[in-house]
Amino acid sequence: DGGITQSPKYLFRKEGQNVTLSCEQNLNHDAMYWYRQDPGQGLRLIYYSQIVNDFQKGDIAEGYSVSREKKESFPLTVTSAQKNPTAFYLCASRKAGAKNIQYFGAGTRLSVL
Amino acid sequence: SQQGEEDPQALSIQEGENATMNCSYKTSINNLQWYRQNSGRGLVHLILIRSNEREKHSGRLRVTLDTSKKSSSLLITASRAADTASYFCATQVNTGGFKTIFGAGTRLFVKA
């Protein structure tokens, strides 16, 4: 998982609560990504950021928000508007010009209480 | 809809056998990548093949790409129990280079 740290490993959300998942990288990568993975499924893109202070919606952005105030950090907030948040969330980063090879964190498993 | 779709969804083999996984995609690509995911962990990049390449090797891995059929295969030779994992193909589509689309994966189980 080298160089990308996701925390916490497990997270529980109560109904109506916003929760924030942390993603920090020390690889000096420009681009960062958030994916959602449901059991037995592939990865779906939530948000991505190519540079600091800029980010774009992915395929399933509704109910999520992000910020990119620092190059190293790309936190994801799962808002109360996301009605089915239970999933495995993966953060990844990519070096500019690196043929789009992505490096992943170990993931955060989010469950609803 | 998913750009990449792997086949089979699951594969169970004996240690020492070869494992072949296939991936099909829909639109033109810059490159195709294969990743591995151990249970409950993040993905790890295995190998990348460019759209102008037909075959690539890395250790016990062999990847082929047929752009006319929009398909790729990953062959793991002489499999080991430690190869047990899910394997995903991922395509970088021709939209500026930032977006990678992952398939649903093949779950490989290698029996010791």
- Asked if residue B2 has pLDDT above 90, the reply is no
User: Of the ranges A19-23, A99-103, B10-14, which one carries the lowest mean pLDDT score?
Assistant: A99-103
* Residue numbers of B between 50 and 109 with CB closer than 8 Å to A: 88, 92, 97-105, 107
Q: Do B43 and A106 touch (CB under 8 A)?
A: no
Q: pLDDT above 90 covers what percent of chain B? A: 75
Beta strands at A31-37 and A76-78: parallel, antiparallel or unpaired: unpaired
**Distance between CA atoms of B2 and B99, rounded to whole angstroms?**
13
On whether any CB of chain A is under 8 Å from the CB of B8, the answer is no
Sole residue written with tokens 């109910």: A63
Residue B60: per-residue pLDDT: 97
Closest residue in A to B93 (Cα–Cα) = A100
Beta bridge partners of B31: B50, B92
Residue B1: per-residue pLDDT: 41
Each residue of A53-63: pLDDT tens digit? 999 999 999 99
CB count in 10 Å sphere of residue B104: 19
User: DSSP for chain B?
Assistant: --S-EEE-SEEEEETTS-EEEEEE-SS-EEEEEEEEE-TTS-EEEEEEEETT-SEEEETTEEEEEETTTTEEEEEE-S--GGG-EEEEEEEEETTTS--EEE---EEEEEE-
Q: What's the token pair of residue A97?
A: 């010009």
Residue B98: per-residue pLDDT: 63
* Residue numbers of A between 58 and 87 with CB closer than 8 Å to B: none
Each residue of B15-74: pLDDT tens digit? 999 999 999 998 888 889 999 999 999 999 999 999 999 999 999 999 999 999 999 999
**Distance between CA atoms of A29 and A68, rounded to whole angstroms?**
13
Task: Report how many Cβ contacts below 8 Å link chain A to chain B.
Answer: 58
Mutation choice for B interface testing from A43, A56, A88, A93 by most B CBs within 10 A: A43
